[in-house]
Amino acid sequence: MIKLLVFTLVGIGAQIVDGTLGMAFGVTATTLLVLSGTGAAHASAAVHFAEVATTLASGISHWRFGNVDWKMVLRLGVPGGVGAFLGATVLSRISTEAAEPVTAGILLAIGVFLVVRFSSRPPLELAASEKAAHSTKFLTPLGLFGGFIDASGGGGWGPVTTSTLLTTGRAAPRRVIGTVSASEFIVSASASVGFLLGLGSEFFDNLLIIAGLALGGVLAAPLAAWLVSRVAPAVLGTGVGGVLVLTNVRTLFKTFEIEGAPRTIAYVVIVVVAITLTGYAWQKSRASRATETTADPAAGETGRVSGDVDHASGGTETTQTASRSQGNEDSPESAEVPVR
C-alpha cells in the first residue's frame, strides 16, 4: 500500500509538470522512480504503459479548457503513433544510446532559443490570435521523429514536438501544449503495443508501478490543464525552455560522464537563470496586460462621453428644428418670433 502511494505521488508530480509545460512526464516519472529504488528498465517500461491513462485524462482536461486543436492532433498524433511503435520494437532489440547526445544537443539549442525568445518578448499577440495552421507536410515528419525518439529513447515526445511548434510562433503556447498532450495518447498507446510485442510477459512485472503512475496522473490532469489555461503565455514559453535546457544538459552530462562539482554548479546556474527569466517574463507580461486593461476603459469612457455629447447635440438640433418647423406653421412669413 505504501509503495502504491509513493508511485501515485510520483504520477501526480510528473503529470503536473507534463500537463503544464507540455513535456517531461517520462523524464520526471522515470527520475523519481529511480530515486525511489526502482530499476531504470522497469521504470521506463512502466512509464510508457501508464501514459496511456494519463495522456487520455490530460487530453480530455485540455479539451474542456479549450486548449486542443483536434485537426492538429490527428495530423501530429497518427504519424507519432507509427514512429512510437517502430521505436518500441527497435528498443526491444537494439540500443539507441549513440543517438542521445545528438538529439540532446539539438533540443538544448531549441530550449535556449525558447528561453531567450519568450522572456525577452512575451507573445501576448499569440494568446489572442493564431496564424495559419501547420501543414501536414510539416507535422507528419515531426510526429514520426518525435514518436520514434519518445519510444526508443525513453521519452522525448514533448521536448521534440512542443519545442518545435512553439518556435514557429503559429499558435498560442497553451494551445500547443494542449494539442501535444492530447496527441500523446496515440503515441503512448502505440508504444505500449510495441513493447508488449517486444518484451512479452515481462512487461507485466510492474503492474503496481503502472497503477500508481496512472492513478496519480489522472488525478493531477485537471489541475495541470487549469494551470496552463491561467498562466501567462510568456511564463509558459520560458518555463518550457528552462525544462528543456535542464533535462537535455542532464542527458549530455550522463553521456560524457561529467559528475561532481562541475555538474552541480551547472545545474544550480541553469535553475537560477531559468527561474529569474521566468519571473522577469511574468512581470513583463503582467505589466503589458495592465497597460492594455487601463487603456481599454479609457477608450470606452471617451466613446461614451463622445456619444453623450453627440446625443445631446442631436437632441438640441432636433428641438431647434421642431421649433423652427412650428414657427413656420404659425408664421409662414417669418421663422423668427419677435420679442415684445
| Confidence band, pLDDT 50/70/90 cuts, at residue 74 | very high
**Arithmetic mean of pLDDT, 153-173:** 78
In a domain, 284, yes or no: yes
> Which residues make Cβ contacts (< 8 Å) with residue 273, sequence separation at least 6?
242
219 has a pLDDT exceeding 90:
no
pTM (2 d.p.) = 0.62
In a domain, 329, yes or no: no
Give the separation between CA 20 and CA 222, rounded to whole angstroms. 10
Give the separation between CA 115 and CA 276, rounded to whole angstroms. 11
In a domain, 298, yes or no: no
Distance of CA 228 to the CA centre of its chain: 7
181 has a pLDDT exceeding 90:
no
- Nearest CA to 228 out of 66, 28, 13 is that of 66
In a domain, 255, yes or no: yes
48 has a pLDDT exceeding 70:
yes
* Structural domain range at position 28: 2-291
- Nearest CA to 22 out of 85, 53, 64, 68 is that of 68
Q: What is the largest CA-CA distance in the chain?
A: 114
Q: Note the pLDDT of residue 264.
A: 93
C-alpha grid cell, residue 22: 507540455
> Which residues make Cβ contacts (< 8 Å) with residue 46, sequence separation at least 6?
33, 38, 206, 209, 210, 213
In a domain, 339, yes or no: no
| Confidence band, pLDDT 50/70/90 cuts, at residue 225 | confident
Domains of the chain: total: 1
Q: Note the pLDDT of residue 277.
A: 92
The share of the chain scoring above pLDDT 70, in percent, equals 72
In a domain, 225, yes or no: yes
In a domain, 300, yes or no: no
In a domain, 230, yes or no: yes
What pLDDT digit, counting tens, does each position of 299-324 carry? Answer: 444 444 444 444 444 444 444 444 44
Give the separation between CA 106 and CA 101, rounded to whole angstroms. 9
